[in-house]
Amino acid sequence: MYRITVFRGDGIGVEVAEQAIKVVRKLGEKHHLVFEIEEALIGGVSIDKHGVPVTPEALKQAKESDAVFLGAVGGPKWDGLESSKRPEKGLLSLRRELGAYANLRPVRVFGDLAKKSTLKEEIVSGIDFVIVRELTGGIYFGEPRGIFVLPDGRGEQGINTEVYTTPEIERIAEKAFECARRRKRRLTSVDKANVLESSQLWRKVVEEVHKRYPDVTLDHRYVDDCAMQLIREPKQFDVILTNNMFGDILSDEAAMLTGSIGMLASASVGDHCALYEPVHGSAPDIAGKDIANPLASILSVAMMMEHSFNLLELSQSVENAVEKTLGDGFRSADIYQEGMRQVGCSEMGDLIVERIA
């Protein structure tokens, strides 16, 4: 039996999570496996009910599960709250509680969706790589940080600190090498070692870890070069390993290669059970209309089957169902192309379930 905690969250999170649940149920039924789904509240809905973005009980439940799925959090109703009380704080608490230090974000162009990209079709069609981003260290968390008055009184200075330790780099590098081993065995580590000492240490530790993965080819790139290469020739990449800030920026850049944010799945893995979520937010502009694209959520279920449960056949069957549904000409509004049939969020979920069967 596999225990999954589902946080639907807010906005379209509710609708896309419903489609993810349908897919999990279908996989269980088809393969005679028990997936026990327990729901819990996070984000705005939790604020409304409990006064906090996530309760200690919900965090405990998540930590004790075998995997966690999250739709999305946030919305204009809660935008006025101070940052420690906002819906997004619930997500940060959940990631911290799960010790989720590695964010895996596959970037893949399904079927002929290359036509929806802002780049030339031949550059993006067939793209298939993964970005492994360090999620709990680096400049977003380093101390000292803050805005301080200058001693001479001529204004202020804003300070942030990029810090990485050997153990932090080792554990994320191991995740990236493991990921490369499951793929084409090519790892590109991205840093700024020509300028930053934290990157020089990063490079040194990645080289050390590489000795344990001699079957994986490693190369290093500076982040500015990588940003350029992602647009010039994205198909050269298999697995990209990078720190928190570079990963934040490069993964959004890479997301745009695929045509729509509604297609991008993610897994955040670490010390405890992993967290699976679509990359997009709660999309208040389309919430409640049944027009959101649920494929990012459904592909996050495929990642869960592979990474948390090692059920590779099930993971593959979900990806195949997505490929087939798109190949059959069904499209949600965000990826609609002329001549295709536009379907809503819930119908897209049903079409995937049919094709898994």
Could you list the residues that contact ligand NAD (CB under 6 A)? 12, 16, 72-75, 88, 91, 261-262, 277, 280-286, 292-293, 296, 334
Nearest residue (CB) to ligand NAD, 45 versus 296: 296
Nearest residue (CB) to ligand NAD, 193 versus 352: 352
Both tokens of 110, joined, read 């399904």
State the catalytic residues: 140, 192, 224, 248, 252
Q: Which of 315, 250, 311, 317 shows the shortest CA–CA distance to 33? A: 311
Answer for the pair 300, 266: CB distance below 8 angstroms, yes or no. Answer: yes
d(CA 92, CA 85): 12
CB of 298 to ligand NAD, least distance (A): 11
Coil/strand/helix, residue 9? strand
Nearest residue (CB) to ligand NAD, 238 versus 334: 334
CB of 88 to ligand NAD, least distance (A): 5
Residue 311 CB-half CA count within 13 A: 22
Buried b (16+ CB within 10 A) or exposed e, 29-42: eeeeeebebeebbb
CB of 262 to ligand NAD, least distance (A): 3
Nearest residue (CB) to ligand NAD, 188 versus 282: 282
Answer for the pair 268, 277: CB distance below 8 angstroms, yes or no. Answer: yes
- The Cα-based distances of 348 to 70, 78, 260, 278, 322 in angstroms read 19, 30, 16, 16, 9
d(CA 159, CA 157): 6
Contacts of 153 (CB under 8 A, 6+ apart): none
* Alpha helix (H) residue ranges in 65-116: 87-97
Nearest residue (CB) to ligand NAD, 173 versus 283: 283
CB of 258 to ligand NAD, least distance (A): 12
CB of 77 to ligand NAD, least distance (A): 9
- Longest Cα–Cα distance in the chain: 71
Residue 211 buriedness (CB in 10 A; 0-12 / 13-18 / 19+): exposed
Residue bearing tokens 């999309």? 283
Nearest residue (CB) to ligand NAD, 48 versus 224: 48
CB of 244 to ligand NAD, least distance (A): 16
Nearest residue (CB) to ligand NAD, 135 versus 218: 135
Both tokens of 187, joined, read 């790892």
Return the axis-axis angle of helices 12-31 and 295-307, rounded to nearest 10°.
50
d(CA 50, CA 69): 21
CB of 84 to ligand NAD, least distance (A): 15
